A and B are shown apart, each in its own frame.
Chain A
Amino acid sequence: MMDSVNACEYEFDVVVVGAGHAGTEAALAAARMGAQVALLTTNLDTVGQMSCNPAIGGVAKGQIAREIDALGGAMGQAIDATGIQFRLLNCRKGPAMHSPRAQADKKAYQQEIKRLVEEQENLFLRQEVVEDIVTSGDAQAQQVCGVQARGNVIYRAPAVILTTGTFLQAVMHTGEAKSSGGRAGEGSTQGISGALNRMGFRLERFKTGTPPRLNGRTIDYTRTEIQPGDDTPQPFSFLTNRLEVEQLPCWITFTNEKVHDLIRQNLARAPMYSGQIKTTGPRYCPSIEDKVVRFSDKEQHQLFLEPEGRATQEVYVNGISTSLPRDVQDQLIRFIPGLERAQIMRYGYAVEYDFCPPDQLTPSLETKRVKGLFFAGQINGTTGYEEAGAQGLIAGANAALTLTDAEPFILQRDQAYIGVLIDDLVTRGVDEPYRMFTSRAEYRLMLRQDNADRRLTGLGHRIGLTDNVRWQHLQAKETSIVRTKALLQANRLENVTLEKYLRRPETKWDELAEHLPELRDVPSSVSQQVVFDVKYSGYIARQDVQVARQHRLAEKRIPRTIDYDRISQLRAEARQKFREIQPVSLSQASRISGITPADIALLMAHIEKPSK
């Protein structure tokens, strides 16, 4: 319960600033773990808002969404409840590559998230404009004490999580027109950047963009290609048994030379090329003007027309992110097949915003500079709802853990994409907005969307982050997997055990089930695990060796008090990198760029006590 000290001062365990994908997961996570949480947002009507494309998941992102769910987060259940199209991408490739993606009913998704937040015990949601962060202590030992909201309202808490998204000092660009704001129609947050500067944080600027939205009534879909959802849609949440939902299709069309010519003629008016925007945008999500310039030999670019919901005609044009002036946007849309008479409902724009380079964080997402202050989401230089949600979840859990001085909750690179994400951020920093790719995960054969619960639910349950329902669900599944594997080992076909038989690439589960009728009753969620485990077993065994080594290095903790100057033989470059990054373990230290095995050996010699 909120404790009202006086009319303008409140006390909480954890204060979360911002209620987007990071903020809501952070607040929910901390509240689930028993902390008294205040979630403050500048606008209650945009809680869990999808600022950009109306979709959850995709390759690598889908795996993260499943991990968030396996740890008890809200994203999976919200999209299951409000999805309008579900597809399993990469399903013709191996299981590690299978990636769920869903189009959301944008408004419904946001309302669903808001409902989950409102119904969460220990969680207090309120509309406030946070203008400052309150700290105590001197510059060397700062501790967060809370935040100050407009009207001189103070929220006191020993832990504060900032999830301010693209709103810090945000500037939007559409052609020559510039306006202050982090999302179309909204303002920007000015005070917090100043507070961060005052506390000594480095701030840098990134840029991202969004495409125009059209009125679907004015689109001629007969001139486009249909892209339906899967016949048997797969849910995101491990708690959702099956989805019964009427799905809406998406549509595919293409740009052409006429469009490209028009863009070339107007490049001087594009903020990215006129010099109006100087900051870096993501290479994997280029604006259409970037695509035309950098890949000038490409005659067409693919566009996806994605409905934004069941109750609206608004359509998101995926693939044509742009900050060209409005008149150019109007013209170029008309050159595209199917969009000849389309009306733009919202124009595309680019947005520049402040972020805090994430090498200023520890792996628990707490800042190194200010005790109790956590950052999650786009403020850390990432993009994507899933990446944001994942960080929120971890920051929320760790904020709650700091209240009792418990060990932080840190996932390793072989345990979760979330582990890869956070380790990359805090160990290597970012030089463009960070998005997850499966190729970033060296152990991706293990990090599958289908086994996220088996990898993480137990870990989350141990610290009270994941509820009993999910835990019991997993226990039942594990028991069934063990029983099924025993059956495969006990029965033979063509002189080998069924397990060995299943290793043959051409063998399918149904074939085994014909031979051994008991297998027919095995639920598909279980048989799938058995099949995938067996098919990948050789590769997993090889990776296990690497994983075991990394775990041993990860166990070698580097004390916070270490003085790198005392390692007299350490190279100057290594010394400087270690000081900056402050790695928590030898494993993290070994991943800092430019660090050699010999540097690690020296470090090891210093932190390990010789046996006598």
Chain B
Amino acid sequence: MSYFVDDTIVAIASAPGGALQGILRLSGPQVVSILEACFVGDCDARLSETRLPQSIAGNLHGVDDFGLIPCALYLWTTSRSYTRQPTAEIHTIGSPPMLDACLSRICDCGARLAESGEFTLRAFLAGRIDLTQAEAVLGVIDAESDAQLETALTQLAGGVATQLTEVRDEILDLLAELEAGLDFVEEDIEFISREALEERLLHAQEKTEMVLDQVRTRAQPRADYRVVLRGAPNVGKSSLLNALSNQNAAIVSNERGTTRDFVTTELSLNGLECTLVDTAGVSLGLAGLSPEVVAQQVTEAQIAQADLQLFCVDSTRSLSRWETIEIDRLTADRGLVVATKVDELSVDFFSGNKVIYTSSKTLEGLDTLRAEIATALSSDVVGSGVVASTGVRCHESLRVAAKCIARSRCVNAESLGEELIAADLHAALEELGKVVGVIYTDDILDRIFSRFCIGK
């Protein structure tokens, strides 16, 4: 994988997290042919005949779950564009799930998702920006994209990353056996039969598709922000969650999944879509550890990618040492301290930090809390929107990987040759590698030598 400047790339160019207007940007030699495949203008102008920069109103068609999407297309077919390549912008409504679906559609038509900094590199090569500007962007990519990928994987929920690693591992093993059969034909080792191969390929395909499904369903009803409820067990997090959502008609879903290690509720707070994450469910199920240790462990992953934490304390009890430490660690824009059960409270138990006093019973303080949440979130410029396209990236890679495995099964069924199956599996691994890490030939050789006694 590298930055091939002759590929046609696409990315979401609008501000992340549900801006009013959504913008998709494309650049590369195939821009026109790709748009011809998925865009129809209101007037019948043929895109390929367009030389001058222009804007065309029309629709993107064939977008999953959405069908036709009205949009405005801005097209530069000549080197006058920012990248000096044919370039287009599609302006449409700023809904993240819809933009993701549009991205997938455009990729189906032959574009590739842009890597971080790729537009910048092209703009530099086009002489539009200077080296210092280009370096400033390119220099921080690795750190940022690692963080993004990690966030995306966590957000796509517990279990997915583990399952992906398992699939990758299974395919690597399978490939090692196939490669051993190809490279070490004279060795006295038993090679895999066609039937066994089919069984394992099918398994790998099903598993990849299952993960793909999970990513798809989890990625879709996505809120703009992620708010995590934290605190020791029984401080009243769940009641607070219910109180916040019950009063509000905007509940989207409330599920307790087997593969999820947390409960989420999606709600709208003063016009901001957000996912409220309660970590209580699982923490009660883990015995033998102190409740605080458990709470700490379970929520760590969630905290890592939360836009905001609500740290809940029971106002009828004095603070534990752990609670004091945690409150000190909260930063102003990433965390709020919420005191619960204020209806049972007789005196001020706590002072110093800014505390929002609430009661899930009397609903006291909930409006203040909502307003504080909204204020804290609006000051957040990044949001989880960055993850949206990382999600599409995972999705795209998984889809291609599943396709490659499916093709390898056809090759196997027709006995067209193990070297072709291996070629497909290599392609599948490369796609999975984009999501969970890269492999080298040596990985496969290592597996061969640890499994088989090779040595003619």
Q: Name A's B-contacting residues (CB within 8 A).
A: 58-60, 89-90, 93-94, 96-97, 99, 254, 283-286, 290-291, 294-295, 298, 300-302, 304, 318-319, 321, 437-440, 442, 444-445, 505, 539, 542-543, 549, 552-553, 567-571, 586, 590, 593, 596-602, 604-606, 608, 610-612
Structural contact, B420 and A601, CB atoms closer than 8 A: no
Residues of A within 8 A of B134 (CB): 605
Alpha-carbon separation in the docked complex, A593 to B427 (Å): 19
Residues of A within 8 A of B445 (CB): 437, 439-440
Residues of B within 8 A of A294 (CB): 453
Residues of A within 8 A of B121 (CB): 601, 604-605
Query: Which one of B4, B145, B186 has the greatest number of beta carbons of chain A within 10 Å?
Result: B186
Q: A89-B185, A97-B182 are in contact. Are A284 and B417 (CB under 8 A)?
A: no
Q: A571-B142, A605-B124, A605-B135 are in contact. Are A93 and B417 (CB under 8 A)?
A: yes
Structural contact, A438 and B138, CB atoms closer than 8 A: no
Please give the distance in Å from B25's CB to the nearest CB on chain A: 18
User: Does B292 touch A at the CB level, under 8 Å?
Assistant: no
Q: Which of B118, B127, B441 contacts A612 (CB 8 A)?
A: B127
- The size of the chain B interface, using a CB distance under 8 A, is 53
Structural contact, A438 and B453, CB atoms closer than 8 A: no
Q: Which chain B residues numbered 176 to 213 have a C-beta less than 8 Å away from chain A?
A: 179, 182-188
Q: Which chain B residues numbered 424 to 456 have a C-beta less than 8 Å away from chain A?
A: 426-427, 440-441, 444-445, 449, 453-456
User: What are some 13 contacts across the A-B interface (CB < 8 A)?
Assistant: A94-B416, A283-B454, A284-B454, A291-B455, A542-B427, A569-B136, A569-B139, A590-B2, A593-B440, A597-B2, A601-B3, A605-B124, A610-B124
Q: Which of A59, A542, A608, A610 contacts B185 (CB 8 A)?
A: A59
Q: A319-B455, A598-B142, A605-B138 are in contact. Are A505 and B416 (CB under 8 A)?
A: yes
Report B277-289 CB contacts with A as 1/0, cut-off 8 Å.
Answer: 0000000000000
User: Does B13 touch A at the CB level, under 8 Å?
Assistant: no
Q: A298-B453, A439-B444, A597-B2 are in contact. Are A444 and B126 (CB under 8 A)?
A: no
Alpha-carbon separation in the docked complex, A298 to B454 (Å): 12
Q: A294-B453, A439-B441 are in contact. Are A600 and B131 (CB under 8 A)?
A: no
Residues of B within 8 A of A569 (CB): 135-136, 138-140
Alpha-carbon separation in the docked complex, A42 to B116 (Å): 58
Q: Name B's A-contacting residues (CB within 8 A).
A: 1-4, 6, 84, 115-118, 121, 124-127, 131, 134-136, 138-142, 145, 179, 182-188, 414-420, 422-423, 426-427, 440-441, 444-445, 449, 453-456
Residues of B within 8 A of A552 (CB): 4, 6
Alpha-carbon separation in the docked complex, A598 to B419 (Å): 32
Residues of B within 8 A of A604 (CB): 3, 121, 125
**Smallest Cβ-Cβ distance to A549: which chain B residue:** B4
Please give the distance in Å from B98's CB to the nearest CB on chain A: 28
Please give the distance in Å from A382's CB to the nearest CB on chain B: 15
Alpha-carbon separation in the docked complex, A298 to B441 (Å): 26
Please give the distance in Å from B30's CB to the nearest CB on chain A: 13
Please give the distance in Å from B242's CB to the nearest CB on chain A: 45
Q: A445-B419, A539-B423, A612-B127 are in contact. Are A440 and B6 (CB under 8 A)?
A: no
Structural contact, B420 and A302, CB atoms closer than 8 A: no
Please give the distance in Å from B455's CB to the nearest CB on chain A: 5
Please give the distance in Å from A504's CB to the nearest CB on chain B: 10
Please give the distance in Å from B417's CB to the nearest CB on chain A: 4
Structural contact, B131 and A437, CB atoms closer than 8 A: no
A-B residue pairs, 9 tightest by C-beta? A569-B139, A94-B417, A610-B127, A302-B188, A598-B141, A295-B453, A283-B449, A439-B179, A569-B135
Query: Which one of A291, A539, A570 has the greatest number of beta carbons of chain B within 10 Å?
Result: A539
**Smallest Cβ-Cβ distance to A284: which chain B residue:** B454
Q: A319-B456, A445-B419, A601-B141 are in contact. Are A611 and B126 (CB under 8 A)?
A: yes
Residues of B within 8 A of A539 (CB): 420, 423
Alpha-carbon separation in the docked complex, A236 to B441 (Å): 28
Structural contact, A89 and B186, CB atoms closer than 8 A: yes
Q: A302-B188, A605-B121 are in contact. Are A439 and B182 (CB under 8 A)?
A: yes
Structural contact, B419 and A93, CB atoms closer than 8 A: yes
Structural contact, B183 and A59, CB atoms closer than 8 A: yes
Alpha-carbon separation in the docked complex, A597 to B7 (Å): 15
Structural contact, A438 and B3, CB atoms closer than 8 A: no
- Sample of 16 more A-B contacts, CB < 8 Å, known A93-B418, A298-B453: A93-B417, A94-B417, A286-B455, A290-B455, A438-B182, A438-B419, A439-B179, A439-B444, A440-B441, A569-B135, A569-B138, A569-B139, A601-B117, A605-B124, A611-B125, A612-B127
**Smallest Cβ-Cβ distance to A290: which chain B residue:** B455
Q: Which of A505, A542, A568, A596 contacts B135 (CB 8 A)?
A: A568
Alpha-carbon separation in the docked complex, A434 to B2 (Å): 27
Please give the distance in Å from B304's CB to the nearest CB on chain A: 22
**Smallest Cβ-Cβ distance to B178: which chain A residue:** A439
Alpha-carbon separation in the docked complex, A597 to B182 (Å): 31
Residues of B within 8 A of A254 (CB): 188
Query: Which one of A59, A302, A439, A553 has the greatest number of beta carbons of chain B within 10 Å?
Result: A439
Query: Which one of A294, A318, A553, A604 has the greatest number of beta carbons of chain B within 10 Å?
Result: A604
Query: Which one of B131, B138, B139 has the greatest number of beta carbons of chain A within 10 Å?
Result: B138
Alpha-carbon separation in the docked complex, A202 to B235 (Å): 64
**Smallest Cβ-Cβ distance to A602: which chain B residue:** B138
Alpha-carbon separation in the docked complex, A284 to B449 (Å): 7
Residues of A within 8 A of B414 (CB): 505
Residues of A within 8 A of B422 (CB): 439
Query: Which one of B135, B182, B418, B440 has the greatest number of beta carbons of chain A within 10 Å?
Result: B182
Structural contact, A597 and B115, CB atoms closer than 8 A: yes
Alpha-carbon separation in the docked complex, A381 to B265 (Å): 60
Alpha-carbon separation in the docked complex, A254 to B187 (Å): 12
**Smallest Cβ-Cβ distance to A292: which chain B residue:** B453
Q: Which of A291, A567, A601 contacts B118 (CB 8 A)?
A: A601
Residues of B within 8 A of A304 (CB): 186, 456
Query: Which one of A321, A552, A599, A605 has the greatest number of beta carbons of chain B within 10 Å?
Result: A605
**Smallest Cβ-Cβ distance to A603: which chain B residue:** B138
Q: A301-B188, A439-B444 are in contact. Are A60 and B183 (CB under 8 A)?
A: yes
Structural contact, A567 and B419, CB atoms closer than 8 A: no
Alpha-carbon separation in the docked complex, A304 to B186 (Å): 10
Query: Which one of B124, B125, B139, B440 has the greatest number of beta carbons of chain A within 10 Å?
Result: B139
Structural contact, B118 and A611, CB atoms closer than 8 A: no
Structural contact, B2 and A553, CB atoms closer than 8 A: yes
Please give the distance in Å from A608's CB to the nearest CB on chain B: 6
Structural contact, A597 and B183, CB atoms closer than 8 A: no
Q: Which of A301, A549, A611 contacts B453 (CB 8 A)?
A: A301
Residues of B within 8 A of A586 (CB): 2
Structural contact, A437 and B2, CB atoms closer than 8 A: no
Please give the distance in Å from B19's CB to the nearest CB on chain A: 26
Residues of A within 8 A of B416 (CB): 94, 505
Please give the distance in Å from A282's CB to the nearest CB on chain B: 9
**Smallest Cβ-Cβ distance to B127: which chain A residue:** A610
Residues of B within 8 A of A612 (CB): 127
Structural contact, A600 and B2, CB atoms closer than 8 A: yes
**Smallest Cβ-Cβ distance to A570: which chain B residue:** B139
Residues of A within 8 A of B124 (CB): 605, 610
Residues of A within 8 A of B419 (CB): 93-94, 96-97, 438, 444-445
Residues of B within 8 A of A58 (CB): 186
